């Protein structure tokens, strides 16, 4: 719900990269397999963390918490250690002992994802409080947020911040700048129910001020308009479709976006990649995010077709993409009441746990027989270029994604 909530998304921003988040992706290709920096022991994933370290770590910890797994202390410590003194987070700080300065590329997506994870884990009020204060300080006059402080508001970034505010116990509609809240920004980024992209959210207006439908932004926008974070409980069944009624409520904007997504996946069960050179290829990360958004608005039954497609087709993608991808699938399973330990024959929890340091406790569910014995025993130029690339392809939630948010 945001530069794409997928580790792969962030890889696109190295050239920069929307689901871990946060934080777009070349048809869901994996980030660089050759890290340019040493990998910290507490970090999840084995690919270069330069552009998605905090994002993928936050999604991994949040997904573990969602399924009853207590993350390793060093994994949590790594995340908290990435925070700057002013409360913000950058995608990755190789040397966290060095104080952040004006050149440290902090962003709203990494910060908001970290807030959602740390709030869910509990015991980190000081860190989340500072992060939320920083997020409030960089709110735009239209009520929304851009990826970088001062950047134009986009649906993905605004939505992941809404999730962070709700996770931290704030009421997003009361966090305002010049009298406008995040919901005002999101409603203005929604398309009407007639014409191309009816009901969808745009990432940002184009240079002429026009809006174009963006599936990634729409999945993020639905959750943001509902006041939800990356993790949602199954919603109640709703037949609400796209409807224009003057200036729509946030709830109607969410219903409009969900109707757009449901229509987009109705034929084949998946969303197609919008990246250059990837025409007609499935977009696994955005499809997972769409499942969460559709289920949050219309209930699990409404998301069954894309959910079943993911169960049958996402294993290889997740294996190649890493922890953020497994987290996205766990979020999709959770939103639909599906067992993440048997997701099309894949144990998503086991696969995610294997991406980093062993968790302190097993999942709430009984361990498998094969696991029981073990369980019982124990600002640079490239950054600027990257942000521009993310904006140009319409992906920003770096980050969805979409924690325990509240409906407005």
CA-CA distance, 38 to 387, in Å (whole number)? 24
Task: Judge whether 402 and 223 are in contact, CB under 8 Å.
Answer: yes
Look at residue 155 and tell me whether its pLDDT is greater than 90: yes
Q: Is residue 318 part of a domain?
A: yes
pTM: 0.84
Helix%, strand%, coil% for the chain, nearest 5: 45, 5, 50
115: domain CATH number is 1.50.10.20
Q: Is residue 397 part of a domain?
A: no
Instruction: Please state the rounded mean pLDDT for residues 224-241.
Output: 84
Model confidence band, residue 144 (pLDDT cutoffs 50, 70, 90): very high
The conformation of residue 379, written as its DSSP 8-state character, comes to -
What local confidence, expressed as pLDDT, does residue 142 receive?
98
What local confidence, expressed as pLDDT, does residue 274 receive?
82
The count of structural domains within the chain is: 1
Q: What is the pLDDT of residues 381-395, one digit of tens each?
A: 334 334 443 443 343
Q: Is residue 56 part of a domain?
A: yes
The conformation of residue 233, written as its DSSP 8-state character, comes to P
Q: What string of DSSP letters covers 288-320?
A: HHHHHHHHHHH-GGGGHHHHHHHHHH-HHHHHH
What local confidence, expressed as pLDDT, does residue 233 receive?
86
Average pLDDT score, the chain: 84
Look at residue 275 and tell me whether its pLDDT is greater than 70: yes
Q: Is residue 234 part of a domain?
A: yes
Task: Judge whether 102 and 150 are in contact, CB under 8 Å.
Answer: no
Q: Is residue 205 part of a domain?
A: yes
Q: Is residue 1 part of a domain?
A: no
Q: Is residue 135 part of a domain?
A: yes
Domain that holds residue 378: 7-392
Q: Is residue 69 part of a domain?
A: yes
What local confidence, expressed as pLDDT, does residue 241 receive?
75
Task: Judge whether 227 and 172 are in contact, CB under 8 Å.
Answer: yes
Q: What is the pLDDT of residues 31-87, one digit of tens each?
A: 455 677 789 999 999 999 999 999 999 999 999 999 999 999 999 999 999 999 999
CA-CA distance, 362 to 221, in Å (whole number)? 33
């Amino acid at each position: 719900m945001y530069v794409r909530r997928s580790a792969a998304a962030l890889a696109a921003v190295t050239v920069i990269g929307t689901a871990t988040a946060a934080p777009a992706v070349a048809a869901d290709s994996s980030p660089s397999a050759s890290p340019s920096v040493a990998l910290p022991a507490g970090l999840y994933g084995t690919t270069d963390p330069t552009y998605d370290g905090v994002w993928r770590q936050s999604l991994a910890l949040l997904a573990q918490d969602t399924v009853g797994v207590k993350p390793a202390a060093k994994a949590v410590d790594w995340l908290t250690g990435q925070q700057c003194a002013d409360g913000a987070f950058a995608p990755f700080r190789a040397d966290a002992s060095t104080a952040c300065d004006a050149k440290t590329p902090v962003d709203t997506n990494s910060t908001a994802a970290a807030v959602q994870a740390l709030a869910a884990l509990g015991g980190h009020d000081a860190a989340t409080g500072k992060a939320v204060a920083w997020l409030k300080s960089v709110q735009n006059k239209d009520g929304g947020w851009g990826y970088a402080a001062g950047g134009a508001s986009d649906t993905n970034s605004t939505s992941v911040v809404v999730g962070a505010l709700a996770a931290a116990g704030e009421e997003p509609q009361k966090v305002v700048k010049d009298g406008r809240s995040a919901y005002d920004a999101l409603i203005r980024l929604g398309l009407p129910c007639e014409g191309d992209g009816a009901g969808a959210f745009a990432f940002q207006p184009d240079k002429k001020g026009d809006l174009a439908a963006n599936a990634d932004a729409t999945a993020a926008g639905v959750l943001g308009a509902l006041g939800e974070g990356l993790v949602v409980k199954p919603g109640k069944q709703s037949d609400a479709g796209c409807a224009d009624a003057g200036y729509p409520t946030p709830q109607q904007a969410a219903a409009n976006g969900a109707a757009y997504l449901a229509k987009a996946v109705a034929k084949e069960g998946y969303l197609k990649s919008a990246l250059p050179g990837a025409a007609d290829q499935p977009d696994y990360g955005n499809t997972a995010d769409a499942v969460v958004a559709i289920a949050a608005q219309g209930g699990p039954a409404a998301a069954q077709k894309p959910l079943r497609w993911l169960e049958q087709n996402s294993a290889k993608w997740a294996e190649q993409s890493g922890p953020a991808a497994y987290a996205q699938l766990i979020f999709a399973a959770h939103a639909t009441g599906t067992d993440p330990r048997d997701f099309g024959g894949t144990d998503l929890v086991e696969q995610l746990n294997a991406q980093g340091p062993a968790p302190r406790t097993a999942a709430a569910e009984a361990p498998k027989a094969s696991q029981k014995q073990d369980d019982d025993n124990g600002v640079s130029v490239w950054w600027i270029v990257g942000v521009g690339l993310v904006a140009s392809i319409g992906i920003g939630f770096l980050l969805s994604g979409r924690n325990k948010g509240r409906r407005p």
